[in-house]
Amino acid sequence: MSMKKTISPWVLILGVVILLGFWLMTSYNGFVSSKGTVENAWAQVETQYQRRTDLIPNLVSTVKGAASFEQDTFTEVTAARSAWASASSAGSRQQQIAAANSFDSALSRLLVTVEAYPQLQATQAFRDLMTQLEGTENRVAVARKDYNAAAVAYNVKIRKFPGMLLASLFGFTTEETFQAAEGSENAPTVDFQ
């Protein structure tokens, strides 16, 4: 006599439910981990922009004390700094990215303007401040690159099938990334005429 063993349909259903549950759990945890990486990278961007925001008044004061040129440049840098501070405290990430791009543009114009003043560049205080600012700009660039990499990896993860179904179900949405500002491929011009 041969005994034939059969698997109960309930065991099969239970096995499928366990596998599905495991897949849901690992997918959800993967989304949470990726989102955490994005949040951490964004915190680094904010930290570097805050460092820059704190440093800018010193740069502007030093430049104002040693050179007299268009007040518009100072006004623009001050307004951009204020816009960043405002967006940081109450704005969305999209508003913060727009404010950061405005800040980048204003600071770039200030630095190009400063190049026209060799006597300013010769002072030790200014050189020290520029070294600090250059280091800060490098940190901002690295933080933005790291944030974009984390945001892109996260965005890809929640857009892939079948994960996109779960991401939608659990409310995971895409993250904004930094894009080059329009016209950023052109160097700013300074005209003292």
Write out pLDDT tens, residues 15-63: 999 999 999 999 999 999 999 999 999 999 988 888 888 887 777 776 6
Q: What is the full DSSP assignment across 108-172?
A: HHHHHHHTT-HHHHTSHHHHHHHHHHHHHHHHHHHHHHHHHHHHHHHHHHHHSTTHHHHHHHHT-
Average pLDDT over residues 119-125: 61
Domain boundaries, the chain: 32-144
Q: What is the pLDDT of residue 111?
A: 73
Write out pLDDT tens, residues 168-188: 999 999 999 988 766 655 655
Query: Within 13 A of 81's CA, how many CA atoms are on the CB side?
Result: 20
Structure tokens at 20: 């599905």
The H or E element that residue 54 is part of is helix 9-66
CATH code reported for the domain at 32-144: 1.20.1440.20
